[in-house]
Structure 1
Amino acid sequence: MASQIAPFSSQHLEAACRVLADTAQGLTGTQIGRLLQEVQVADSSPDMTKWKRLFNALAGAQNQHKVGNHLIMFINRAMNPVSYASNPGAFAWRRDELNVVLAFSGFYVREDGKVGYADKANTLDEARARAGRLKAALESRTVHAEVLNYCRAELMEENYFHAVFEATKGVAERIRQLSGLSGDGADLVNKAFAGQQPVLALKTLTSESEKSEQKGFANLLVGLFGAVRNPLAHAAKTNWPMSEQDALDILTLVSLIHRKLDGVTRLAAVPA
């Protein structure tokens, strides 16, 4: 990378700082302070909210030195893969979001955590596409976060077959977490949602319509496992082609299922 990088606009710098210091997925205040010290940037407002603190520090350095190098140096250190050995999901999220922001300035974060050059993006759709067309399409639909949690790496590689496989496996895992049950597939679904005493309920099950919805949801889950997850588990990728449109439709269905699971209530103890 060149010795001098043109200063970033305040909008681009702020967007990068909002990702790096995101409330839920970003760096901690302690990490921000340490990294600023490492890149020799004055921590001018340590008592402010995280993103404003980081923005003020980097903007101050940029104004003083008339270059944008300090943001790049900060990202290079913040995205060192060694720091994410126990939390690769955090690395993936930060890299994805930084790549959308940095695309507008002609940069991207590589797999090794270092910033490299890229063609500048002019639109949000173009910037999102840098993180993968399918992932961009899912985000435009506000897909449930649990979908991406289980197949983020596959989406980045546009590996549709395995993205769908991992996402459907994730549905079963979430049902196990919510219910305390073991097992898989139709057996797991029936124990969790079917019968007179289901472990999990979408609603109160006090009316016929609610009972009908519960039964329909269980059938939908069984169908997902039977028509999608099970064939993928037993078929070679070359024998089970997965188009981008098919993957988008299936993952959107998985997103709907996760939203339904968000509202379930655990009614019964796990059967012995």
Structure 2
Amino acid sequence: MATKLLPMWPPANVEAVCKVLASTESPGLSGSEITRLLKMINIPDVSPGANKRDRLWSALMTKQQNNQASNCIVRFITEAMSPGRYVQDTARFHELKDALNEPLALMALRVNDQGQVARAAGASTLDEVARLAGRLKTEFNRRGIHPEIVKYCEEEIIRKSLFHAVFEATKGLSERLRQLSKSNLDGAELVDFCFSVRNPPPILRINPFVTETEISEHKGFANLLKGVMGTFRNPPAHTPRAAAGWTITEPDALDLFSMLSFMHRRLDGAVVTLRP
């Protein structure tokens, strides 16, 4: 039975896929991996001297043009995303899958958990692409990020606006402290009000607050709160991003969200002693 010919992909969509697969940063394929995959599925390497992205784009576009079908591109993605290649590095598989699903969404396609290109809900705008791909939300689910974080920055997460997502998530931590303590303070003053040990028991306690170890942990947690607020909230709040040169990478943002999750989980079990 003859193989069904799939419609050709627009050059811009092929380029977007190649940018993901041949990214110079993790989780992109290495040059040797691209060479091996092209040879495996009989796609001529027409530009061997070009950089990875241009080399892959030239190979796939030339083969697609010759065949008048996109089967070669689908085959390459399927071979590249074969789960067996990622047994020792499952995180790389998921990163590649999530990244590929952004450009594929424009063609109503996606890479499924079996590494195959499958039909999916289509997108016509970049906002729809972000919502359908949901890379950060997928990573949030894998890391078990606390719901209090998502509540305050869900829209920023969907749009992958890391600068604003970090800012809103950190503001959400302050709002949680205000709700628990019934205070209108902010920043370090709010933390001091909630966790001060000058007039025991503190308004908020994350442990029984009896032994020296427990008191030390209580003080350390308060300092941790102040550190996060000072590092990730105060700079964006007081200076425009462009003027301050304040940037944050996706790995750093995800690590911060994990830290905020730890803080919220400790607050989940906090004992509240309100003052008159």
Normalised TM-score (structure 2) = 0.54
Shift of 1:38: 1.2
Distance 2:161 2:260 in 1: 21
Counterpart code for 1:39: I
- The answer for unaligned runs of 5 or more in structure 1 is 148-183, 195-200, 203-220, 236-272
Q: What is aligned with 2:18?
A: 17
1:1-272 aligned within 5 A: 3-25=4-26, 26-132=28-134, 135=137, 137-138=156-157, 140-143=159-162, 187=220, 224=260, 228-231=264-267
Alpha carbons of structure 1 residues 69 and 226: separation in structure 2 relative to 1, 3 Å: closer
Q: Structure 1: which 4+ aligned runs deviate by more than 6 Å?
A: none
Would the alpha carbon gap of residues 118 and 185 (structure 1) be closer, same or farther in structure 2, given more than 3 Å must change? Answer: farther
Provide the rounded CA distance (Å) in 1 between the counterparts of 2:17 and 2:54: 11
Letter in 2 for 1:8: W
Counterpart CA distance in 1 for 2:122 and 2:222 is 47
**Counterparts of 2:219 and 2:22, CA distance in 1:** 42
Q: Aligned with 2:23: secondary structure? A: coil
Amino acid across the alignment from 1:6: P
User: Which amino acid in the other structure matches residue 52 of structure 1?
Assistant: D
In structure 2, what is the Cα distance between the partners aligned to 1:73 and 1:114? 9
The answer on whether the counterparts of 2:8 and 2:70 sit within 8 Å (CA) in structure 1 is yes
RMSD value, Cα: 3.6
Higher Cα Rg, which structure: 2
1:17–1:226: structure 2 CA closer, same or farther, 3 Å change rule? closer
How far is 1:90 from its partner?
1.5
Instruction: Return the offset for 1:44.
Output: 0.8
Cross-structure match for 1:255: none
- Contact kept in structure 2, 1:45 and 1:57, CA below 8 Å: yes
Deviation at 1:187, TM superposition (A): 3.9
What code does the residue aligned with 1:60 have? Answer: T
SS at match of 1:64: helix
Matched residue type, 1:20? L
Equivalenced residues, count: 172
Deviates more, 1:66-75 or 1:91-100: 91-100
Q: 1:73 to 1:18 in 2, by over 3 A?
A: same
Contact 1:186 1:225 in 2 (8 A): no
Describe the SS at the equivalent of 2:85. helix
* CA displacement, residues 92-125 of structure 1 (integer Å, 9 cap, x when unaligned): 1111111110011121000111110123211111
CA distance in 2, matches of 1:226, 1:80: 35
Q: Distance in 2 between matches of 1:226 and 1:19?
A: 32
Which 5+ residue runs of structure 2 have no aligned equivalent? Answer: 138-154, 167-216, 232-256, 271-276
Summarize deviations over 1:210-241 as a string: whole Å, max 9, x none. Answer: xxxxxxxxxxx9x9578503255x69xxxxxx
Q: Go from structure 1 to structure 2 and tell me whether the alpha carbon gap of 1:72 and 1:30 turns closer, same or farther (over 3 Å shift).
A: same
What is the deviation of 1:84? Answer: 1.3
User: For the structure 1 residues 186 and 21, does the alpha-carbon distance in structure 2 shift closer, same or farther, using more than 3 Å as the test?
Assistant: farther
Q: 8 Å contact 2:134–2:158 — kept in the other structure? A: no
Equivalent in the alignment of 1:167 = none
Query: Which region of structure 1 is more displaced relative to structure 2, 51-60 or 117-126?
Result: 117-126
